[in-house]
Chain A
Amino acid sequence: MRGLSVADFWLILGSIRWTVALAVSALAIGSVIALVIAVARTSRLPWLRLLARVYIELVQGTPLLGVLFLLYFGAPMLLGIEVNAFTAAVVAFSLSAGAFLGDIWRGSIESVAPGQWEAGACVGLRRIQVMRYVVWPQAARVAIAPTVSYLVQLIKNTSLAALVGIVELTRSGQVVAGSTLAHLPVFCAVAVCYFVICYPLARLALSIEGRMHAARAH
């Protein structure tokens, strides 16, 4: 055992980059999946809607940690390929983000009045144009707040990556606490780090939402 030093806190601070890297990668890839899922869920083709629904329910009904373990430990056994921890984590979080954001965005798209689709169609726009220029801009306003609150969830969920050995924020806390036994100050520091990342995001969501409302009323 050794005492807690300033270097330990630098280690914890430095590990934030992995938390951010995981969250940003998962958000980027997950958004692409979510977009496909949201479009499929609001499609006119019943089989496509069903497919997307099955995906959402499957992912939402499985624990994220289970998926992560399946990818990290299961892939070598099942498929004979080694998956490094970061890749496994990014894939697991992306699949999850795709389902949750996909469902959030589906709801946002469906919240746009049906009359908007008709009005777009009646000036001669194609369905894809109505989507792009009429429905999505309105759905985006609705989606922003829940999307950012999901991002906050995602950032906190990246702590699961500690369990496959990625030294992100939580894992670095474990490492430091393990060697110093100073659990209380260390995990307080970790908690403060999460809060410092997440709180401004939550505020940002609110202010964007407020500005959108103001723009609309103006």
Chain B
Amino acid sequence: MPLVRIDSVEKHFGDNHVLRGVSTNVAKGDIIALIGRSGSGKSTLLRCVNGLEKISAGSIVVDGVDVQSPATDLALLRQRVGMVFQSFNLFPHLSASGNVALAPVLTKKASRDEAHTLAKQMLERVGLGQKLDAMPSQLSGGQQQRVAIARALAMSPQLMLFDEATSALDPELVGEVLRVMEDLARDGMTMMVVTHEMAFARRVASEVLFMNQGCIWERGSPERMFENPSTPEFQQFVQSIV
């Protein structure tokens, strides 16, 4: 059974038809790269997976939980689905370890000591073991994003959603975040990654979905997709990027 089942999903923002019948499955351990021009619906699709956006029609089932059902406790679902944003969204009033420990303390009733140990482990995992007490404002963009990843990992998610996690970073800081994401992929984390980093998609993804006009326009293995694009739209997209 797939971890995520997305079936005939439609999404409207007012008159704007953003997703037009999107269907796909994500199996455990898959690394799905969602690529496409801005406005193609890839970020919206990602935000529908954890219920940040409500879908207009169709269904999304994550780990057996029907996301759009009114009976679904989204908070519980989101404890198993981590998300990393383009703009980091760290809690500015909490230290790096405070950011990581907050949700485990509040939702898993972790003790102060347990939470601190967990925060330390998670921050070490993203290479920030030295920055436990640093406030977000003292960290570089790349470091902030790695704290955000550690914060999501602290909940031991089944699935990680990355919404253009490196798009707001200075070019020299992109690498450190991508390396952390690659480590995660190697550890077997299931990931859906909206990205403009084609080299990363090609190297790490198990499947690439090219979105265009609210549809999955073309999909396949990264090798096939980038060496042999079959639709003119994807061909154009690939050429416009390189």
A interface, CB within 8 angstroms of B: 113, 115-116, 118-126, 129, 133-134, 137-138, 141, 216-218
Contact = CB atoms under 8 A, between A and B. Distances in A.
B50 interface: yes
Interface string B74-91: 111111111101010111
Contacts of A115: 85, 87, 89
Contacts of A133: 102, 106
Interface string B209-227: 0000000000000000000
A111 to B, nearest CB: 12
B151 A118 contact: no
Contacts of A137: 93
A123 B151 contact: yes
Contact of A141 (B52, B76, B93): B93
B152 A122 contact: yes
Nearest to A122: B83
B89 A118 contact: yes
Interface residues of B, number: 31
Give the interface SS of chain A, mostly helix, strand, loop or mixed.
helix
Nearest to B161: A122
B92 interface: yes
A211 to B, nearest CB: 13
A216 B103 CA distance: 21
A21 to B, nearest CB: 34
B24 to A, nearest CB: 21
Given A116-B91, A134-B91, A216-B92, A125 B107 contact: yes
Contacts, number: 72
Given A116-B89, A129-B106, A138-B93, A123 B78 contact: yes
Of the listed residues A115, A119, A129, A137, the one surrounded by the most CB atoms of chain B closer than 10 A to its CB is: A119
Given A118-B52, A118-B89, A125-B107, A216 B78 contact: no
B155 A124 contact: yes
A141 B91 CA distance: 14
A129 B107 CA distance: 9
B184 interface: no
Contacts of A217: 135, 137-138
Nearest to A217: B137
A122 B52 contact: yes
Contact of B78 (A116, A124, A138, A218): A124
A122 B92 contact: no
B102 A123 contact: yes
B203 to A, nearest CB: 26
Contacts of B148: 119
A216 B106 contact: no
B205 to A, nearest CB: 22
A118 B161 CA distance: 13
A119 B155 CA distance: 13
Given A134-B91, A216-B93, 8 more contacts: A119-B89, A119-B91, A120-B91, A121-B52, A123-B154, A124-B79, A124-B80, A125-B107
